[in-house]
A and B are shown apart, each in its own frame.
Chain A
Amino acid sequence: MARVIVDVMLKPEILDPQGQAIAGALPRLGFSGVSAVRQGKRFELELDGPADEAALSDVRKMAETLLANTVIEDFSIKVEE
């Protein structure tokens, strides 16, 4: 059993109005020192078996096929210890 984390973020060149709205809200709430916010998605996949090379290759396919739209999003995969 292993847990694999897939983080999906809009590509840097894609406008993120949600992130901008959050960045705009922070100073209004009294938080300072944040110059920009980007909002993304985090997926936690519970695997039936170990996070070996084959399993991670499958996760990569899942991310490319469904979890991320690679036209507008990048993803990264990490195994949670």
Chain B
Amino acid sequence: MSAARVGIVTFPGTLDDQDAARAVRLAGAEAVPLWHADRDLRGVDAVFLPGGFSYGDYLRCGAISRFAPLMDELIPAARSGLPVLGTCNGFQILCEAHLLPGALTRNAGLHYICRDQRIRVENTGTAWTREFTPGQEIVLPIKHGEGRYVADAQTLAALERDGRVVFRYAGDNPNGSLNDIAGIANEAGNIVGLMPHPEHAVEELTGAPSVDGRGFFTSILKKLVNA
């Protein structure tokens, strides 16, 4: 059978699309470039929204990208079950697009943070985390200035109750995120957003702290192959 096709979205100001494509290819899938201005998902089986500073983070992180022509196609497809992963700026875009609840705000300490971070995988039932074990601690790079997850009390309670907090910071909370939240999923578990960067942790060669990021891509591949 032909390889699973994972779309990698590039907006003006996206930085991590090349690493994202590489991570997808390393896992054995085909990386399909998707351009923000096209109204075409090119028949992909899943979509990766990588990090960066789309539209220069003007207005709010992800606020302009959310209205890109490609998003008009992606939003309904994601609501119908297309697996979507957003990391960092991609997570911010998913929140601005209301595909995930809550918002990412300025880090509590105001500093831009760039470091290796321990993360606990809390939910292994999503399309992107099934290759991990519940409670597993992994190490991924984080690099962001606006990663403090906030949501109203009712939303937070619902996320916790339904197991939709997929990742939590282990050890120090780097940015003041409520409930130490590093990543969440939608109700169906096909849409996952997180601030850390799995695509930067797939190869020893690049000096990554781990290759723990591989699990995201083997998870989605296994799901697509078995679908």
* Contacts from A to B (Cβ < 8 Å): 10, 13-18, 21, 66-67, 69, 71-72
Contacts and interface: CB of A to CB of B under 8 A. Distances in A.
Contacts of B105: 10, 14-15, 72
Contacts of A66: 59, 63, 67
Interface in B119-164: 148, 150-152
12 contacts: A14-B150, A15-B105, A15-B108, A15-B148, A15-B150, A17-B106, A17-B108, A18-B106, A69-B60, A71-B152, A72-B103, A72-B150
A71 B102 contact: yes
B176 interface: yes
A18 to B, nearest CB: 6
A13 B64 CA distance: 25
Given A13-B152, A15-B176, A21-B110, 10 more contacts: A14-B150, A15-B148, A17-B107, A66-B67, A69-B63, A71-B102, A71-B103, A71-B151, A72-B103, A72-B105
Chain B interface residue count: which class?
A: 20 to 34
B166 to A, nearest CB: 19
Contact of B110 (A10, A17, A71): A17
A17 B111 CA distance: 10
A66 B102 CA distance: 16
A28 B19 CA distance: 44
Interface in B65-102: 67, 95-96, 101-102
A64 to B, nearest CB: 12
Nearest to B106: A17
Contacts of A71: 95, 101-103, 151-152
A51 B59 CA distance: 24
B109 interface: yes
Contacts of B110: 17-18, 21
Given A14-B150, A15-B176, A69 B103 contact: yes
B124 to A, nearest CB: 28
